Structure 1
């Protein structure tokens, strides 16, 4: 696509990813492992490149969504543990065994086939049994936990590598007591699922980015940071004191294609939702919702041009938007435009862009990263 290939690019700072990994690690006691969550194409940053950056920073465990993502990491030469957070679908057992992947388990279906293939290849598959401690998403209910753990223990070729759950309220002010109750529910399940003394004990893990930053008591044996690795806090501003310095790794760059002047009373873009109140100088830019830049932020968004903010006028189009540069007389066709990231002293982050759209930084990063060519900065 000419627009994406010629004009727009997502720049990913791999050194920033590594710095964020080290910042997270600085909050942990020695011996606690980190699962670098790289699902959803590393939140739009690029699966293989991000995983390599984290591996060089010391990561030896990676969380992906699907078997396909796990296979991609193996083909890229990644040697650490790769955990399938969405589990394994029917028919994928052979790829799981062949690529030494560790699926999350929340249902007995498919375990017998996984066991049979692992035993045939004289291998062992580590599985992470997931408890639903209150999320209402993937995971077995507490009353079924011991039954599924016993089934895993009986099946040859399988071993219980981890017992896990997920915090649904770790980023919610005032919810710490409820989070403690959910953590204690997982601990109670862990106590009754422990294997015999001669079998390696499973890892206990529940902490996402928000929990690992707020709740040191919930670190367990392993933590699972996601958004914090990409430079953004999962917590509201009132918890800023518990968040280490993080470096946003993604930026979206484009360039001005046309500069023009419109008279007073002239409509701008579809529906003429904006009409000029006076003579207005516009920069036309090749970024729109086809590039992951949401149409829903029309009327609120800004772009950086020559280090200054310029408001976008009218409705954001499929591949274009228009910025008011009446106060920026030096802007001309060919100038760099930054929609996400830093330019000079100016900065527009994914949190701000998300606030314009009524969503979260995670969604913005996934959309923009997936819909533009990516350019990577060097690894340290």
Structure 2
């Protein structure tokens, strides 16, 4: 615990170190918010022990609780690491990434998907629980959805009929939108493909879905590992598309690095009118504000004719990664994200003003 026993916040300060109510750095990376009866749960990758060279990718899935989105109480690990089994998808060295949890109203269970990286193969594992806070048990382990290497993803649930979808990066080629089975623990086999692009850094990853006004939106990033690149937003009238690209969601960022962030998810505030919050990870907080060459460096890594294709980028210490939460504005229906050093929820109108 830090010297300050209690830490409180009354505003968002994107890019600054964000401490929980105990004064400790928050670790919920690649994260999402789950709203349950007015209580918010922020969960994601626990990177507290992930330092260069120690072999720890992710130390389980950590969760925090809040009623105001500013101040977060640490609830600990809702999915702890499996330290004893090196083959387990939950082992700290197995490279667990981007947990997403959806509630299945038909089964009354909470379903968590994770991706696990490893060499040339990226696998998926599914866990279920009877409570959001767990315990979670593995029900589908180390598989390739649709026979594909599945990278970054999002889970989407239709708000009225409960139908589930799984949108993921088919590694280094395209995005895939797949229907989930009724219990959300697998894919049915029906899918559509979108945004076919040639290799990193061009391939889209980190899909973050939201809907507004009956339309569907996806925010994605390019593939440059932990280094930032221009985000992109697309829109469709149906889940399976066709999807139309609307361009960089951060058009005023001259560095073309999405304000040095990667959007992990988009949260629609239930009590504010038209407030959508883009949850961004700043994986490399010490990166210079004008750093914008990572797309080219990653392009070289995948160029067989480049004599320096084995270029090694600077090592990243994700144990000190930060966050940048920013509101989304809509210009004639086009989502845009502006930088703000500070902002508050009371800047936005209540859904039901008193």
TM-score when normalising by structure 2: 0.29
Greater per-residue helix proportion: 1
Bigger Rg, structure 1 or 2:
1
Query: Greater strand share, 1 or 2?
Result: 2
